[in-house]
Amino acid sequence: MAPSATTANHVEFDTNKSKVKSLQLDGNEDHDLVLRSFRVLIADVVQQFNGGHPGGAMGMAAIGVALWAYTMRYSPEHPDWFNRDRFVLSNGHTCLFQYTFLHLAGYKHMTMNQLKTYHSASEESLCPGHPEIEHTGIEVTTGPLGQGIANAVGLAMATKNLAATYNKPGYDVVSNTTWCMTGDACLQEGVGLEAISLAGHWKLNNLVLIFDNNNVTCDGSADIAVSEDINAKMAASGWNVIEIMDGSHDIQGIVAALKSAKESTDKPTFINCHTIIGVGSAVAGDAKAHGAAFGQEDVDNIHKINGFKAEDKFNVPEKVYNFFKTQGPSRGANLVQEWEDLKKDYCAEHSKLGLEFQARVKGKLPNNWEDFIPKDLPTSATATRKSAGLICNPLAQNIPNFMVGTADLSPSVYMAWPDKVDFQSPDLITVCGINGNYSGRYIHYGIREHAMAAIANGLAAFNPGTIVPVTSSFFMFYLYAAPGIRMGALQELQAIHIATHDSIGTGEDGPTHQPIEIAALYRAMPNLLYIRPSDSEETAGAFTVALKAKHNATIISTSRQNLPQNKESRRDAVKYGAYVLREKEDATVTIIGVGAEMCFAIEAAEQLAQDRVSARIVSFPCQRLFEQQTREYRRSTLQSNKTVAVVVEAYAANGWERYANASISMKTFGKSLPGKVAYEYFGFNGKVIAGKIQAYLEDLKQERIWKSEFVEL
């Protein structure tokens, strides 16, 4: 990768160095000792369990010193301080880097014994194989590559938005910086590239992305799979670019770069740090240093060349701890007090805004948030995507916690409210006259669904509840977003995803846009509420559930086409996952209706009634919520001992077998036809369904099929 952009700091980089066994430090004695101790410790920890990722952490040590000792604003005593700098390790497999710096910087929980639990069988380890948000000092869970960059973009946006909303002259109550480490991989992954493009567009000058450019991936030299000029590419994407030629040693150079990044630009900054993976080991600069222990012989040698005895395991000299005590942490404690004082004065001078700000800091919605959910929704046939807009718009308009965005489907998702202001760099107004600035809460993500989901996770992770991100797209493209949705669910981050065009009712766009199997993924995903309301009332219920679910991500799955409003529909019952929509004491059949296909379930029941078959109807918007109900409730809802249940949904049947004996469902991909015609084509028609159910009942009676055998009718 040829250097080609602004370089703040040039130390001649000798490519032959990538194989050197001895270390070239920056002349500062403290630095020398810290780096040596850090690298030896990493080698020891990984060797102990004979597994893990040592090379990256060792190569990045100088960057860590520059961050934790000289640059980042944080307090180990107040790890959740609201205005702390956020650090994201997008190359999460190098987690020992972060754990060890948390230890050195004085985070109490991160003891030497904890470090030793890395890769161990300890169920109580705070040092899992990738950083996990549950643990103190970790801002987001990372590991799936590229997403950390997008999380960092979300965190930086949160700062920008809160600062633009609450800061007043003399009162920068929100002013933190987001620092993100990346390896080669995150810069290859599409989600990383999408997020980079957005950060440049939004001119997030409070975001610094530090590239651990060791030019090594699992397969060997990164040159095997990438030939681009990364500096030029980042510059073309709207980033300020700084290059550090000896990033494994040049702490002073890195500190200068980090400070310049923070102070002197209106763009996000990319610091291209050339490093040596596994520096000091026998496999320095080689892929072998990436994901395995070095072996005892080499670890002994690493000790030796770093001035430690081979038998000195897990030995961090007191001087190293002292170095950090006299640098970062002491500054950190002061910072928190200064901020608390500032906040106090701010609240005194700006009392109304101060109250709101304090609520945001606590992550609270206004007490009356439920009042903003409309009581009266259309009683005429309405697409649930429109209902979702009617419900979400007043919430977003009135509740500052809401940040609502779309992956370029504003005209289809109805998420824009009157007089919305876009989240944009104020400069953009000169380009296209848009009504936007950083206080805006409507986000145009462009056509970047995966980054949208991962950025939403960053927004939610800034501080629990401070921001409630809402995303929107076609349900099909939540498959593009799936890895981000999964990470949100795993982290128990509250986010609401509005997914429209959720069945073959999507119509003419055809099978590429008709998501007949995507729900199976989300219904199986822990902590994720996939809610498919059948009309406006249930859509309102879905929003209430989603806003009360502080530890869940929710997908509200809506229709493109108009759906009739069912008079028995109950918004308050959505929280049970399923409920009896229409009871019949003498029923032999339970028809389970779901979402946009509820209308066919009702038609079929009415047709069956004409044919003297008594059918009851259950509305079933959310499997996961239903599973949380008592056995008693589930039995009384399904009546599976008294009736045969048939589910009606234009999806693959997978998963419905738990509740139904048979399905009217999709066995193939869909087809490009107008929505109504597509439904007809695939047999979604009350009369056809009723006929199939009657034939099925006859098959059961004749014992051609057993009730225990699930069948797709």
Active site residues: 449
If binding is defined by CB under 8 A, does position 452 make contact with a copy of itself? no
Q: What's the token pair of residue 628?
A: 């949380």
The beta strands (E) that lie in 510-652 are given as 528-531, 553-557, 562-563, 579-582, 589-593, 615-619, 644-648
CB of 524 to a copy of itself, least distance (A): 4
Q: What angle do CA 456, 412, 153 make, to 5 degrees?
A: 20
Q: Name residues contacting a copy of itself, limited to 370-409 (CB under 8 A).
A: 406, 408-409
Which of 39/290 has CB closer to a copy of itself?
A: 290
**3-state secondary structure at position 362:** coil
**3-state secondary structure at position 76:** coil
Judge whether 34 is annotated as a binding position: no
Which of 224/310 has CB closer to a copy of itself?
A: 224
Can you tell me which of 63, 191, 289, 622 binds a copy of itself, judged by CB under 8 A? Answer: 191
Q: Name residues contacting a copy of itself, limited to 258-287 (CB under 8 A).
A: 287
334: exposed, middle or buried (Cβ count in 10 Å: 0-12, 13-18, 19+): exposed
Which of 154/200 has CB closer to a copy of itself?
A: 200
220 contacts 172 by C-beta, under 8 angstroms? no
**3-state secondary structure at position 213:** strand
Can you tell me which of 6, 397, 412, 694 binds a copy of itself, judged by CB under 8 A? Answer: 412
Q: What's the token pair of residue 589?
A: 């059949």
In whole angstroms, what is the distance from residue 321 CA to residue 330 CA?
Answer: 12
Q: How many of the chain's residues bind a copy of itself (CB under 8 A)?
A: 126
40 contacts 315 by C-beta, under 8 angstroms? yes
Q: Name residues contacting a copy of itself, limited to 139-158 (CB under 8 A).
A: 141-146
If binding is defined by CB under 8 A, does position 190 make contact with a copy of itself? yes
CB of 454 to a copy of itself, least distance (A): 10
In whole angstroms, what is the distance from residue 34 CA to residue 56 CA?
Answer: 17
In whole angstroms, what is the distance from residue 448 CA to residue 414 CA?
Answer: 18
Judge whether 214 is annotated as a binding position: yes
CB of 205 to a copy of itself, least distance (A): 14
Q: Name residues contacting a copy of itself, limited to 521-540 (CB under 8 A).
A: 521, 523-527
Can you tell me which of 3, 374, 510, 564 binds a copy of itself, judged by CB under 8 A? Answer: 510
CB of 656 to a copy of itself, least distance (A): 8
In the sheet with 468-474, reading across from the earlier edge strand, the strands are 436-437, 422-423, 442-444, 402-406, 468-474, 495-500, 553-557, 528-531
Q: Name residues contacting a copy of itself, limited to 113-142 (CB under 8 A).
A: 119-121, 123, 125, 128-130, 132, 141-142
Positive or negative, the Cα torsion across 152, 154, 155, 157? positive
Can you tell me which of 14, 77, 80, 223 binds a copy of itself, judged by CB under 8 A? Answer: 223
Q: What percent helix, strand, coil does the chain show, rounded to 5?
A: 45, 15, 40
373 contacts 540 by C-beta, under 8 angstroms? yes
Q: 427: number of CA atoms within 13 Å, CB side?
A: 9
If binding is defined by CB under 8 A, does position 229 make contact with a copy of itself? yes
613: exposed, middle or buried (Cβ count in 10 Å: 0-12, 13-18, 19+): middle
Q: Name residues contacting a copy of itself, limited to 30-49 (CB under 8 A).
A: none
CB of 193 to a copy of itself, least distance (A): 4
CB of 147 to a copy of itself, least distance (A): 9
CB of 401 to a copy of itself, least distance (A): 23
Cα separations (Å) of 45 from 63, 108, 113, 167, 695? 20, 19, 10, 44, 66
What mask of x and - would describe binding to a copy of itself in positions 587 to 626, judged by CB under 8 A? ----------------------------------------
* Contact stretch for a copy of itself (CB under 8 A) within 107-115, 304-312, 474-482, 591-599: 474-482
Can you tell me which of 169, 411, 418, 630 binds a copy of itself, judged by CB under 8 A? Answer: 411
Can you tell me which of 12, 219, 263, 632 binds a copy of itself, judged by CB under 8 A? Answer: 219
In whole angstroms, what is the distance from residue 254 CA to residue 71 CA?
Answer: 10
Which of 294/372 has CB closer to a copy of itself?
A: 294
Which of 275/536 has CB closer to a copy of itself?
A: 275
* Contact stretch for a copy of itself (CB under 8 A) within 80-88, 96-104, 257-265, 430-438: 430-438
CB of 621 to a copy of itself, least distance (A): 17
> DSSP string of 402-444?
EEEEESS-HHHH--PPTT--EE--GGGHHHH--SEETT--EEE
195 contacts 260 by C-beta, under 8 angstroms? no
* Contact stretch for a copy of itself (CB under 8 A) within 12-20, 173-181, 224-232, 376-384: 224-232
Which of 172/229 has CB closer to a copy of itself?
A: 229
Judge whether 317 is annotated as a binding position: no
Cα separations (Å) of 320 from 34, 65, 185? 6, 11, 32
CB of 475 to a copy of itself, least distance (A): 12
Q: Name residues contacting a copy of itself, limited to 318-347 (CB under 8 A).
A: none
If binding is defined by CB under 8 A, does position 699 make contact with a copy of itself? no
Q: Name residues contacting a copy of itself, limited to 625-654 (CB under 8 A).
A: 631, 635, 640-641, 651-652, 654
472 has which bridge partners? 498
Q: Name residues contacting a copy of itself, limited to 660-689 (CB under 8 A).
A: 666-669, 671-674, 677, 681
If binding is defined by CB under 8 A, does position 184 make contact with a copy of itself? yes
Q: Pseudo-torsion of CA 200, 203, 205, 210, nearest 10°?
A: -10
If binding is defined by CB under 8 A, does position 348 make contact with a copy of itself? no
Can you tell me which of 59, 79, 238, 280 binds a copy of itself, judged by CB under 8 A? Answer: 238
Judge whether 53 is annotated as a binding position: yes
If binding is defined by CB under 8 A, does position 92 make contact with a copy of itself? yes
The radius of gyration of the chain from alpha carbons, rounded to an integer in Å, stands at 28
If binding is defined by CB under 8 A, does position 473 make contact with a copy of itself? no
Could you tell me which residues are annotated as the binding site for Mg(2+)?
184, 214, 216
Could you tell me which residues are annotated as the binding site?
53, 93, 143-145, 184, 214, 216, 290, 385, 412, 477, 501, 509, 513, 560
